[in-house]
Amino acid sequence: MAVPMFNLAPQLSVSRLCFGTMTFGEQNSISQSFRLLDQASNAGINFFDSAEMYPVPQRSQTQGRSEDYLGRWIRDRKISRDRVVLATKVSGPSGQMTWIRGGPECLDATNITDAIDNSLLRLQTDYIDLYQIHWPDRHVPMFGETDYDPTRQFCSISIEEQLDALGSAVSAGKIRYAGLSNETPYGVMKFVQAAERDPCHPKIISVQNSYNLLCRTFDSGMAECCHHERIALLAYSPLAMGILSGKYFLPDGGPGDARLNIFRGRYSEGESRYNLSNKIIKAATVEYLDIANKFGLHPVSLAIAFVLRHPLVGSVIFGATKSWQLQEILDACKVNLAPELIEEINKVHSKYPNPCP
């Protein structure tokens, strides 16, 4: 069974599974990455997501390798450029990644333009199909935070300037479409309004936010924005960084090379959201695992199929470091969840709402 497709834009058809490459160059060598990309492509996946800061955990020594490996795969395999849809992202302000344009300090036109040009070089391509702002150039609660704190707002670059830079890149043929990531309803609507005011500004076609059984915050506010503005959700972390597979709650704590084990204490963004010591996360996960067992499903199939069934999800962005993990993801495309199963999922969600925001 081939992976089904979704029309993300009038001339942009993407597979409903998107291979996220943030392990390439850290957990995966170039040869391992190529084998996984071959397997995904052979299964019908044409959509690949990266970012200038990848792989994670982010380090100056490895920054950019994920894009580099992806570009080298396309060139090495002699794949026609129009057969793949490439998505990547510009890093927002960060005081940590000083090796990326000094932080980067902001998302002004110079930073966005430089990021696009460098990504094009690493990807060895003339254009990027979907270019996304990785996180906002303003304070928003992210990666496990839930409450907005107005005292933390900083001087930020206007959305108009950000869209000016993206529009210039579209005009120059460097990118085809623009998207957002880790955004809020306020941010989405401000980008929509700014694009409506200026015909040179590109329309936002997608938002890449977390969505899974342990994080359904998209449905509270964002879903309404995306529905009315015809913006697709590219749902990342469908397995909640592997938690929903159940591996971390095995007696041995899961494989030593699993991400939350191998990078323990080194990956603050992941650990703040996916805290394995959080009793509510464990309790909710165990109940979802019980539902999968009751209905004869693999936990991965349950988790992925749940995200795929959402009417606003254009594609599910997943990561895999091993061939058998990728196959588990592919198998989920064959699964249809019965109404009575969804009812049981919603009961657990009501009991433990969004423990991984």
- Strands 5-9 and 204-210 turn out to be unpaired
| Residue 315 pLDDT exceeds 90 | yes
Pick the closest to residue 48 from 128, 140, 142 (CA basis).
128
Mean pLDDT of 197-205: 98
| Residue 326 pLDDT exceeds 80 | yes
Pick the closest to residue 18 from 38, 42, 44 (CA basis).
44
Pick the closest to residue 295 from 341, 245, 336, 334 (CA basis).
341
Residue 293: predicted pLDDT:
98
Residue 255: predicted pLDDT:
93
Pick the closest to residue 332 from 293, 306, 355 (CA basis).
306
- Percent of the chain scoring above 70 in pLDDT: 100
Compute φ and ψ for 204, nearest 5 degrees. -75, 125
| Contact by Cβ (8 Å): 211, 233 | yes
> pLDDT (tens digit, 9 = 90+) per residue, 19-47?
999 999 999 999 999 999 999 999 999 99
DSSP state of 4: P
Compute φ and ψ for 234, nearest 5 degrees. -100, 100
Mean pLDDT for all residues in the chain: 96
Integer CA distances (angstroms), 147 to 141, 156, 209, 212, 315, in order: 6, 19, 17, 20, 28
What residue spans define the domains of the chain? 5-351
Mean pLDDT of 120-125: 98
Residue 1: predicted pLDDT:
59
**Catalytic site residues?**
54
Q: Return d(Cα 127, Cα 140) in angstroms, integer.
A: 30
Burial 208-228 (b: 16+ CB within 10 A, else e): bbbbbbbbbbbeeebbebbee
| Residue 134 pLDDT exceeds 90 | yes
Integer CA distances (angstroms), 119 to 5, 107, 236, 357, in order: 26, 15, 21, 30
Neighbours of 280 (CB within 10 A): 15
| Residue 310 pLDDT exceeds 70 | yes
> pLDDT (tens digit, 9 = 90+) per residue, 236-284?
999 999 999 999 999 999 999 999 999 988 888 788 899 999 999 999 9
| Contact by Cβ (8 Å): 288, 345 | yes
| Contact by Cβ (8 Å): 175, 166 | yes
**Which fold would CATH assign to domain 5-351?**
TIM Barrel (3.20.20)
> pLDDT (tens digit, 9 = 90+) per residue, 163-189?
999 999 999 999 999 999 999 999 999
Q: Return d(Cα 243, Cα 248) in angstroms, integer.
A: 6
Residue 55: predicted pLDDT:
98
